[in-house]
Structure 1
């Protein structure tokens, strides 16, 4: 047990990072920035940074860093805390504990970099997962955790719709599941499950031919947040 009379509070900095996932061009993408400053200048990294002051709330800091480094408005999409990372030497400057957030977004325009990022872009997640794109700090491991969180959450929640536009077809929603999970899903079985799930989808009464073929019904997300029963990976083909 520490002697409180001789114990000093360790000097620890707090930062936030944001793992932003989207589906575009038929693949799962993550938003990365090029670091403009040391350490790891010129390397790719997740957008983020230090709290602006001891008074700044963690959630506010995440939204601020997101806007400063990418130009994206966090209020437009789903944002949740992923995990806290605090290995002693994860940052070579000093002991830094980071609170990472996960964002799930529909296909958005290319981001605009700012702050201590020289550029920002959407990158296929596969390039990171397969080790073809090295990242600064411990961000490779954070991306692995973010992707697994997204894959698991769309099993038992309705968050797959967060990757969709305001109005979407069942086929477009199925494509989200196939891309995020990396597996083929039986169309008829999927259609039956999602349209039969209580308050998952709400028909708009409109149809679209934007994907070619016969007109397809358009839906919007319903009020449900959990799926009963869950859509489990490996059981939808």
Structure 2
């Protein structure tokens, strides 16, 4: 049991989301599978949880700001410097980490697919599809589930979708982001009407080159408008009752020697 009379340790972890690559649907030849999200996980190199996958993160140094620590641990473990990095929740149940009290300040980050190609990926850092996640160390499953629910409720904000796209994009690419987050297909015509009515996009006047049919228009987000009407977001609900521990990663090894 944890020593409740001892001082708690403070850690920082990050949940990172990116769009999964397009995949053909085996059940529907010629069609793509519904879009999905993927997340990077790190392998723990020491007990507790030796060999299991966990969220990127590490201990919080005494003289480092929380935001700086989240960005640094993310950069050191995955090589990512996301445009969107926001504090998600603080998890601090007394019995969440074997042998000691650990409080984790969890952030979430959104990255474009092109950034993923430049990220670290080896035997100790691996990207997993949302539908094929391994069992995670500690209660990181609960953290990830909470982050997914929060992402779905915040999709109405333009910067959420913007972080998963390039500076310019087609309407179909924007719809794919919404489908990946909401986990369901959306009617293209209805989606277009909803987004156009929101007034949050600017038509660049350019078109995507290299397509077989009529080149689709390219858009960008209007920074003067923040909210975007999201098709049927799902309520996030309360955070999980059991709080999660830090992912414990270290530069060079991708798995910090912490519980």
Q: TM-score, normalised by structure 2?
A: 0.76
In the alignment, is residue 164 of structure 1 matched against residue 170 of structure 2?
no
Deviation for aligned residue 1:31: 1.3
**Aligned residue in 1 for 2:227:** 226
Q: Give SS of 1:55's match.
A: coil
**Aligned residue in 2 for 1:13:** 9
**Aligned residue in 1 for 2:204:** 204
Greater RCO between the two (CA within 8 Å, min separation 6)?
Answer: 2
- 1:71–1:111: 8 Å Cα contact kept in structure 2? yes
Question: CA, structure 1 residues 37+118, in 2 after alignment: closer, same or farther (shift >3 Å)?
Answer: farther
Question: CA, structure 1 residues 87+212, in 2 after alignment: closer, same or farther (shift >3 Å)?
Answer: farther
Give the 5 Å matches for 1:1-237.
10-25=6-21, 26-51=35-60, 53-74=61-82, 77-107=83-113, 108-109=116-117, 111-112=119-120, 119-128=124-133, 133-154=134-155, 156-158=156-158, 159-198=160-199, 200-210=200-210, 212-223=212-223, 224-227=225-228, 229-233=229-233
Question: CA, structure 1 residues 102+40, in 2 after alignment: closer, same or farther (shift >3 Å)?
Answer: same
Question: CA, structure 1 residues 63+208, in 2 after alignment: closer, same or farther (shift >3 Å)?
Answer: same
Quick one: distance in 2 between partners of 1:33 and 1:103?
16
Q: TM-score, normalised by structure 1?
A: 0.83
How many pairs does the alignment contain? 214
The 10-residue stretch of structure 1 (204-213 or 94-103) with the greater mean CA deviation from structure 2: 204-213
5+ long unaligned stretches in structure 1: 1-7
- 2:202–2:219: 8 Å Cα contact kept in structure 1? yes
Question: CA, structure 1 residues 118+50, in 2 after alignment: closer, same or farther (shift >3 Å)?
Answer: farther
Quick one: distance in 2 between partners of 1:46 and 1:211?
38
5+ long unaligned stretches in structure 2: 22-34, 235-259
Query: How far does the alpha carbon of each residue in 1:127-178 deviate from its partner, in whole angstroms, 9 at most, with x for none?
Result: 23xxxx1101110000001111111100x31122221112110001001111
Query: How far does the alpha carbon of each residue in 1:91-136 deviate from its partner, in whole angstroms, 9 at most, with x for none?
Result: 21410000000112211215226xxx962122111123xxxx1101
Quick one: distance in 1 between partners of 2:112 and 2:70?
19
- 2:79–2:118: 8 Å Cα contact kept in structure 1? no
Deviation for aligned residue 1:209: 4.2
Compute the RMSD of aligned alpha carbons: 2.1
Deviation for aligned residue 1:37: 2.7
